[in-house]
Amino acid sequence: MEAKNPFNQRKITRRKALKYMGLGAALIPASWYLGGCSGRTKMDWADIKPDTENVPVGKMTYTTLSKTGDRISLLGYGTMRFPTVERETPEGVRSFIDEEKTEELIDYAMAHGINYFDSAWMYHQGESETVTGKMLKKYPRDSFFVATKMPGSVRSREDAIATYHKQLEKMQVDYFDYYHLHSLSNDQTYERIYKEWGVLDFLLNEKKEGRIRNLGFSFHGNQALFDKLLAEPVEWDFVMIQMNYLDWQHARLPASYMYNELEKKNIPVMIMEPLLGGRLARVSRNVMEMMAEERPNDTPARWAFRFVASHPQVMVVLSGMTLMDHLKENIKTYSPLEPMTEKEKEILQKAADIISTYQIISCTDCKYCVPCPYGVDIPGIFLYFNKATYDSNVPNLDGPRDAEFRRASRAFLVDYDRAIPELEQANHCINCGECIPTCPQRIRIPSELLRIDNLVQQLKAR
């Protein structure tokens, strides 16, 4: 019975962990009293440093899948956000993956037990698959698992098949461990590519031939499409959903719904956007204080990672780690994973309730919308706006024109100019609408840009 359970290994860890946690929970407040600690009134961002010391080796938590026996690290490496360098090209300065730094990251990850690497045709404008393949070449093929995805931008059956073969070539592998139908978000596209053109049959055949070991999809659509896909007469080996404590209840299609459906069907769940492109790595001060009350040394990122990973149906949590510090902290979080208590989950739901009231834009910086034909730095503007929201730098136009308004106003405008070059700012959006279908988060990009620009212009008025 125990052996058949795919989550066997983790459940044991979890039980142990609970004991320690109980102890810890008792000890931590005690230590406050003993230490006479009373100065924890104001919590600022800088107060919690990511915990990157003494990263353990060989303590990674793994998931063993019942169907294939694959033993996958619970923390997977997402290859959408590798470090980049800017280089001069005939078309102007462009950014490329910084291969030196990337190799260092991947070697470190492998050495500390990460064995799952998730790429896609679209990432880094095509460069991600090539670099991931190149970096993993030096390791034995059975020491890691690679995933990639069929892009939704293919134009025909032939194009799709050519893309697929090109992917095998780019990643320098004979087979894919996991292959996705990428970013299913709209029924017509799904019907056209996978049914009408027969691309799904082609992929199922590839699976039969052994060049795809597991076939599934990543999902960004509505409930109707989700239900339809699960009802398809296809045996999905996994499904990748966007899940985190904010989207658990507060997304258009709540992650909790998708997760529960998948759990019912016992389909392993892959997690993308556990931090919402970094948005959950920084939270506002009041949320931070709530978290610190319970666990004073944990960063918001660790909270977010523990939340998703504590769901037993989750097989792997993808994180696009750009900096060595991200990687180290995440490895520590998962080596081994300390599952979340019910109390902690409650705290996060309260935090989500607060965060969801912010006027933030649900951009995850996936960059599918760029390049904008007219040069607007769409994700840059949205990320900047969200950051300004968290930093309480978005002035309230309906409020009094007091010192606080003037401070916020100056900070907002100065930081805006620093973050976004003048010619790439929101006022240069011409409302052509080219970006609208590309956004997996379904942000109405031109309207949001207009909203931000209206604020900027009102603040600029003298």
Partner 1 sequence: MLKKIRVALAVIFGLLITMLFLDISGVLHRYFAFAAKLQFVPALLALNVVVLIVLVVLTLLFGRVYCSVICPTGIYQDVVAFFARRLKPKKRRRYRYSKPKTLLRWVVLALFVVGVIAGVAVIPALLDPYSLYGRMVTELLTPLYSGVNNLLVKALGDGNYTFVEADVWMKSGISFALALLTLLVIGYLAWRNGRTYCNTICPVGTLLGYLSKLSFLKIQIDPSSCIQCGRCVRACKASCIDVKNHAIDYSRCVSCFNCIDTCSENGIAYTVSWAKKRVATQTVSEGLEDAGGKTVQKVAEKVSAQDVEETAGKEVSKEMAQGVEKGGSSRRQFITTSLLIAGTAAELRAQSNRRSMIKYPAVRKDRFNRLKPITPPGSVSREHLNDACTACLLCVAKCPEKIIRPSVNEYGWEFVMQPTLSFEKGYCRTDCTICSDVCPTDAIKELTKANKTKTAIGHAVHIRENCVVVRDDVNCDACWRICPTGAITREYRDDGTPYVPPANNPNASTVNLRLVPVIDKDKCIGCGACEYICAARPLAAIHVEGYATHRLLT
Distance in Å, CB of 416 to partner 1, minimum? 11
431 forms part of the interface with partner 1 (CB under 8 A): yes
Distance in Å, CB of 177 to partner 1, minimum? 30
As a whole number of angstroms, the distance between CA 100 and CA 61 comes to 28
397 forms part of the interface with partner 1 (CB under 8 A): no
Which part of the chain contacts partner 1 (CB under 8 A), choosing from 101-109, 183-191, 211-219, 424-432? 424-432
DSSP state of 428: G
- Pick between residue 94 and residue 282 the one whose CB is nearest to partner 1: 94
- Pick between residue 34 and residue 93 the one whose CB is nearest to partner 1: 93
- Pick between residue 246 and residue 366 the one whose CB is nearest to partner 1: 366
Query: For partner 1, what does the binding mask look like between residues 300 and 339, x meaning CB under 8 A?
Result: ----------------------------------------
433 forms part of the interface with partner 1 (CB under 8 A): yes
94 forms part of the interface with partner 1 (CB under 8 A): yes
- Pick between residue 31 and residue 431 the one whose CB is nearest to partner 1: 431
358 forms part of the interface with partner 1 (CB under 8 A): no
As a whole number of angstroms, the distance between CA 231 and CA 234 comes to 8
Q: Does a cis peptide bond (omega within 30 degrees of 0) precede residue 395? A: no
Q: How far is CA 280 from the centre of its chain?
A: 10
Residue with tokens 């719904």: 257
- Distance set, CA 134 to CA 99, 106, 146, 169, 382 (Å): 10, 11, 12, 11, 33
Residue with tokens 């810890």: 24
By CB under 8 A, name the one of 157, 371, 392, 442 that touches partner 1: 371
| 290: number of Cβ within 10 Å | 17
Residue with tokens 């060595």: 324
By CB under 8 A, name the one of 127, 427, 442, 456 that touches partner 1: 427
428 forms part of the interface with partner 1 (CB under 8 A): yes
3 forms part of the interface with partner 1 (CB under 8 A): no
Given a contact cutoff of 8 angstroms between Cβ atoms, the answer to whether 17 and 336 are in contact is yes
Given a contact cutoff of 8 angstroms between Cβ atoms, the answer to whether 318 and 272 are in contact is yes
By CB under 8 A, name the one of 5, 31, 95, 458 that touches partner 1: 95
- Pick between residue 241 and residue 445 the one whose CB is nearest to partner 1: 445
Parallel, antiparallel or unpaired: strands 212-219 and 176-184: parallel
Given a contact cutoff of 8 angstroms between Cβ atoms, the answer to whether 258 and 364 are in contact is no
Site for partner 1 in 148-187 (CB under 8 A): none
126 forms part of the interface with partner 1 (CB under 8 A): no
As a whole number of angstroms, the distance between CA 455 and CA 462 comes to 13
As a whole number of angstroms, the distance between CA 103 and CA 370 comes to 26
Among 240, 168, 229, smallest CA distance to 200 is for: 229
432 forms part of the interface with partner 1 (CB under 8 A): yes
373 forms part of the interface with partner 1 (CB under 8 A): yes
By CB under 8 A, name the one of 69, 92, 140, 400 that touches partner 1: 92
DSSP state of 341: P
Which part of the chain contacts partner 1 (CB under 8 A), choosing from 112-120, 200-208, 297-305, 429-437? 429-437
Residue with tokens 């990674």: 60
- Pick between residue 29 and residue 373 the one whose CB is nearest to partner 1: 373
Report phi then psi at 250, rounded to 5. Answer: -100, 5
404 forms part of the interface with partner 1 (CB under 8 A): no
375 forms part of the interface with partner 1 (CB under 8 A): yes
81 forms part of the interface with partner 1 (CB under 8 A): no
377 forms part of the interface with partner 1 (CB under 8 A): yes
As a whole number of angstroms, the distance between CA 440 and CA 449 comes to 17
Element of type H or E holding 316:
strand 314-319
Binding site for partner 1 (CB under 8 A): 84, 86-87, 91-95, 125, 367, 370-377, 380, 407, 410-411, 414, 417-418, 421, 423-424, 427-434, 436, 446, 450, 460-462
